[in-house]
Structure 1
Amino acid sequence: MLSYVAYSIASGSLTLSRSVLDRAADRRRDEDWLEKAWAAPDTQVVVAVGDKLQATADRSALNLVAPAEAPEGIRIFLGIDRESGAGQTADGRAVFAVLVAGEADESYAGLRELGVVLSDREAGIAVHVVGLANWHAVNTHCANCGEHTVVVEAGSVRDCPNCGIHHFPRTDPAIIVMVTDDQDRALLGRNGAWPEGRYSTLAGFVEPGESLEAAVRREVLEESGVIVGPEVLYAGSQPWPLPSSLMLGFYAKAIGTEIEVDGDEISDARWFSREDLRALVEAGTMAIPGNISISRRLIEGWYGEELTGSW
């Protein structure tokens, strides 16, 4: 077996993996409690249009409003802020979202813009809202019989009134992996649709009946022609609700260094030493993913420190 250096993602560095609220799933069917929580003066509401959230004017935080100030829309119970010491019961302060139809104006912003500036509490709120908003948008009708579905359980489920099927939010697992060779070089690839100079770690969706480790080996082989050895080490995960993924990060060791890209999704892939990567990034001839991405954290985990420059 090849020797393997275990890299790691810095604790707390995954921008969209931060969460503070207790989701309090047991309250989703308690209509009396939900109505009291909605009526409480200290309850907070985030408003969403599509996958964009209402933000403060300086784009530094979510614009959390009182229920009386929230517009009409799909009301979603997000959870309880038990740290607040406030709330309509001893539970703590309740937090809701309202999903509004229409076009977002300039007061709204997306996760790519807000993710890196939000607090842990608000980052957790944001990914929860965007994930549910995207799910509600594409599940208005039953996949079994075509009937219009109705929102139940405080926005966490949609039911079909015709055939009785319960529709739950879906999360699609996807692997993303930093592969290194026996010289400790990193394998990075460029999607054919990206501008020249943009590179990232390899990634892909997990297929039915497939383990995460098998997905790592298959995706790397399909996209780059590189064979991954027996050691595939889990590094961390991050929700990516654009629209419904959970990115599962790994480090893996390659057997051999020959590259043969698929020419479809990946147009170029290369081995980079730390010196090569830093020189290219600092020269501005190569761009790596931004700070919101788990790919960036995998790269920096291998590199050993933070890097400058991004997409």
Structure 2
Amino acid sequence: MAGKCFSIILSLVLLFTFASVPVSGSDIIRGTGGVVAVVCTDVSGYKEYSAHYNDHFPLGSTVKIYVEASGKTSRDLNTDEYKPSISFELAGTKPPYPPGPGFTASASSSVMTNPDKSQTKRTYAVISFTLSSEEDLEGEYRFRITAKDSNAGGRVIGRTDYITVHAKKDATLYPAVEYHYFNLTIDPNPSMVGSSATVKVNVTNLGGKGNWVNEQVYLVVDGTEVESTNAIRLDQNDEAEVTFTLNDETLGNEPGNTTIAIDDLEEVVIREEANSGSSGSSSSGSTGGNSGSNPAQTPGFEIFGAIIIILFVARSIRHL
């Protein structure tokens, strides 16, 4: 008898324990009375939503909960449509803990999911709330959703188990981006001290959309990160070209070689001494295609040569 009582008590304890464990926000939550909830990033219609890929959201982001339930319909005398009317109420606690201040959110819906003149219909709505953007308020948001039938005097249709989502500084709304870099080029190379060099690289996103915001890409120049001149926002498998401008501030004002790298790509920027312009000044006075390095012949030398030739010709004639 004692053993049987112990088994019953143990079963009740386990049942209570598992019933009170919050459901992960990345799951489809099926509550009592046919209530369904899904933590989402996007909702476009009835059963058309993008479930969040895990239960972690970035600080300051908006959490969307897609909810469904069935309720009584009432006839619209103007349109002869039979419409449900359901309110969805969210209640829970948020950081900081303890004790965890309470918060609420709600949505209502009379959206018809079919044109039938039936006594009950299913409908859906989207409940949303915004997480705090303060870093010291990272943590767990714990809540449950109750559906009430407005066409039945506010009768409770059903409710979900407790759902949890987590506010995290480094979380992303969508699966994280995964950039793959290729075709790293430098133009010109070599370049002169005092001038700039343009670095370009192609990038493909092999991952998700991340937080789906414009973001800079960083080039490592001799151990220091340099920000790209253009920002990118790439969906999965999208590609773009990223540009960096390097000058004396990033490369130094002395001739030499500087290693640049991004991901597993690496190149060397060659810097040479700028031309002083002294050689150009020596050639500026030359004419007739002569360069400054070839001295011009003097008129006296030309006259002396002509006299020698005349004397040689005259002597030859006299001996004839």
TM score, norm. by length of structure 2: 0.24
Higher share of residues assigned strand: 2
TM score, norm. by length of structure 1: 0.24
Higher share of residues assigned helix: 1
Structure with bigger RCO (C-alpha 8 Å, 6+ apart): 1
